[in-house]
Every structure is written in structure tokens, then in C-alpha cells.
Amino acid sequence: MNDMNTTQHTSQQYNHELEEARSKLMTMGGLVESQVTNAIKALLDRDSALGEKVAYSDHEINAMEIMLDEHCAEIIARRQPAASDLRLLITIIKVITDLERIGDEAEKVGRYAVEMAETPTYGDLHNALRHLGEHVKVMLSDTLDVLGRLDVAQAMQVVRNDQQVDEEFDSITRQLYTRMLEDPRNIKDSLNVTWCARSLERVGDHCKNICEYVIYLVKGKDVRHTNIESIRETLLGE
Amino acid sequence: MNDMNTTQHTSQQYNHELEEARSKLMTMGGLVESQVTNAIKALLDRDSALGEKVAYSDHEINAMEIMLDEHCAEIIARRQPAASDLRLLITIIKVITDLERIGDEAEKVGRYAVEMAETPTYGDLHNALRHLGEHVKVMLSDTLDVLGRLDVAQAMQVVRNDQQVDEEFDSITRQLYTRMLEDPRNIKDSLNVTWCARSLERVGDHCKNICEYVIYLVKGKDVRHTNIESIRETLLGE
């Protein structure tokens, strides 16, 4: 009777630890999402104080990456999980690196928001930046959804959407280039906006990476580093 | 007797698998190093063919990341390694992501090398780019050394050197900015060179990340995302 209780207790503890890992992952995701949202807002509103707050808050995300890495490693060491749980834990370990890097990009945008708060209006660039920002926020929100529900169809949608983000980024950099040609006095600001756009584009890349890991986790098929057509073929072929 | 042979055999197999993981890691590192070296060469020599070759070869590195991830996951699942081996395997899983991203940056530089092969000479920028390239190559070579020998002192040296790379990057972007102001016809090329310099600076960041993982692995102390002074304090404090 005692052994059964112990086994049950251990099993409950294990389930609790797994659930805690997933819960911490979603918390980290929420922190990152908040940082990206605030960074974009700070940039578009030229809100220096908000930009500073974003830059200052990045350390929380870094701390969460370290803690989650340890938590997952401990579960693996002490519980010796079966194959599917192990793959989930390893996926979490991989994915939190991308989340932390998204946090880094948000911090950079926050710093640029502080630097550019005193500059003249963005003019026609404001719309383009806003669109890029909106797309990236949706991608990130969808990515956190994918992580929470392990939904392959939605993951594929995110991977597909990254192309749109890349195209908007190319469009912005072309507009900025034209702006620089028109007037050398525009160069400094245009460069700064280019860096911000690049950071947002990289957030999109990280979202795509995370979704590829999830597709790999759920489907067991290697879709990382392939294009969306190959992914669709691979998944339809089964 | 049979059990002892089986145990010995299993133990030998396990050691072989661990050794294979480390060996594949070094092979992947070598591939990445070759890509970065060639990318920088293609850029400085304006060698379009070499740039194309670099861009084309990135898929090999992506394939190695996927294979190594699987290899490590399988060892963890089947061998249920003890704590120190487990931490090594998890470190490898984390580190190969940074190696793959270094490969991505090399691919980008390769593509820019193709695009810029027809442009006029870099002029005074050539020296600055060459210096940055040299520094990054040394950082990467040292990082692979650190991975091979798990040498904490050398790892700390690499982390310290990243600051130098960041300073050279800032210096180049200032020079490029001046160049853009002098003549709008310089803008397109200067922008492209800026992106290349940014890619090289990111390679330095990834090297620093890898070395921080190694310090964490060997010392068991959290030094990730801290500055070099804190790392030194943390390690001296023991």
C-alpha cells in the first residue's frame, strides 16, 4: 500500500513539475510579449520613459531563461521521463533561447525609442512602422498560442506569415533609403529606424523558429530550415 | 559473467555515443568556421563566386543542427545519463542553436558579397572591415577551442573580447554614416556594408553566448547575461 502511495505521489509530483515547466514557459512568453508591445509603443509614440522601462526590464526575461533551463534539466535528471515528455522538455529548452532573443530585440527597440524621442516626426514612415509592428505583435501572440496549444496548423500559419513580415521590412528599408537620398539630414534618423525595423523583422524570425520546433515536436518530422511548401508537402505526405 | 560483459558493452557503447556527440559538435563548429572565413574573404575580395558558395552551403549546417539535436535527445532517452553527462548534452543542445545562427550570419554576408561584387572599391572602409573580420574569426576559433577543451579561462577571454568587436562595429558604423553624409551616391553601398558589419558583430555575440554556456556548464554558476566583471567576481568568489 505504501509503495502504491509513493508511486502515485511521485507520479503526481512529476506531473506537477511538468505542468510547472509549461506554466513558466507561458509566463516567460507573456513577459516577452509585453516587452515587444511596449517597445513598439515607445517607438511609435516617441515615449522615452516607456523605452527606458523596456530596456531596464530585459533582465527579468534573462533570469527566466536561466531558471527554466535549470528546471527542465532537473526534471530530466531526476524523473528520467519517457520519450514524448523528454522531447517536450528539450523543445522547451530550445524554445526559451528564441524567446530570450526576442526579449533582446525588444530591449534594442526600447533603447532606440529613447534615442529618437527628441527627433522630428517620422512622417510617412510612421504608417509603415506601425504596420510592421502590428504584424510582428500578431505573429508573437499567435506563437505563444501555438506553444500553449501545440497547434500545428496555427504553427504553419505563423511560418507562412513570416514572409509577409520580411516583405514589409524590405519595403520599409527601401522607403528609408529613398528618404536618405532626398536629404542627408535624414540619414541618422533613417538609419535608426532601419535598425528598429531590423529588430522587428528578427522577432518575426524567432517566432518562425519557435513554431518550427513545435511542428517538429508534434509531427516528429524535420521541418526546420525548410520553406513552407516543403513543410506542407511533408505533413500532407503522411 | 554474461551480465558483466553486457554492462561493459553498454557502458562502452554509451561512452562511444557521448564521444560521437562531442565529435559531431566539433565537426559542425568546423563547418561554421569555414563558412565565416569564406564569407569574410568573399566580402573583402569582392568574390562573387565564393559568396554564392557560402550562401549555398548553409543548408549543411542546418542539417547538422537537426541531426545533433536528435542524437543528443536519443542518448538522453536511452541512456538516462547521470547529472554531469546530462548537463553536457543539454549544453550541446543549446550551443548548436548559436552555431547554426552563426552559419545564418555567414550566409547573409555571402549574399551581400555577391551583391556588392560589382561595386566600386571600399576605399578606407576596407581596413576597418578587415579588422572587424579578423577579430570575429579569432573569437570564433577561440570559441571552438573552448568547446573542445571546456576551458573556462579562455571562455572568459572570449566574453571579454566581444566588447572589442562591439567597439569596432560602432566605429565602422560611424565611418559609414560620415561616408553617407559626404555623398548620397555612397548610401546604398554604405548601407550594405553596415548590414555586413552588423552580421559580423552578431557572430561575436553568438560566440559570447556559447562561451557563457560553457562557463555555466563547468562552474555550475549562472554567468549568462552578466557582464565580465560580475563573471570574474562570481568565479573568484569560490
What is the SS3 assignment for A140-192? HHHHHHHHHHCCHHHHHHHHHHHHHHHHHHHHHHHHHHHHHHHCHHHHHHHHH
Q: Which domains does chain B have, with CATH numbers?
A: 2-236 (1.20.58.220)
B198 contact partners, CB below 8 Å, separation of at least 6:
A198, B169
In this structure, are residues B176 and B125 in contact, taking their beta carbons and an 8 Å threshold?
yes
Cell numbers 517538429: residue: A216
Helix-strand-coil percent breakdown of chain A, rounded to 5? 90, 0, 10
Q: What percent of chain B has pLDDT over 90?
A: 63
| pLDDT, tens digit (0-9, with 9 covering 90-100), for B110-161 | 999 998 888 766 777 888 889 999 999 999 999 999 999 999 999 999 999 8
> How long a stretch of residues is chain A?
238
All residues of chain B having their beta carbon less than 8 Å from the beta carbon of residue A99 are: none
Residue B217 and residue B214: Cα distance in Å, rounded?
Answer: 5
Up-side HSE of residue B17: CA atoms within 13 Å toward CB?
A: 22
Scanning every residue of chain A, which has its alpha carbon at the shortest distance from the alpha carbon of B174? Answer: A188
- Identify the residue among A78, A187, A199, A209 best suited for mutation to test binding to B, counting B beta carbons within 10 A and taking the highest: A187
How much is the ipTM here? 0.85
Residues of B with CB under 8 A from a CB of A: 59, 62-63, 65-66, 69, 72-73, 76-77, 80, 83, 86-87, 90, 93-94, 97, 177, 180-181, 184, 187-188, 191, 194, 198, 222, 224-225
- Identify the residue among A192, A199, A225, A231 best suited for mutation to test binding to B, counting B beta carbons within 10 A and taking the highest: A225
Q: How far is B135 from chain A (nearest CA, A)?
A: 23
* pTM reported for the whole predicted model: 0.89
| pLDDT, tens digit (0-9, with 9 covering 90-100), for B9-57 | 788 899 999 999 999 999 999 999 999 999 999 999 999 999 999 999 9
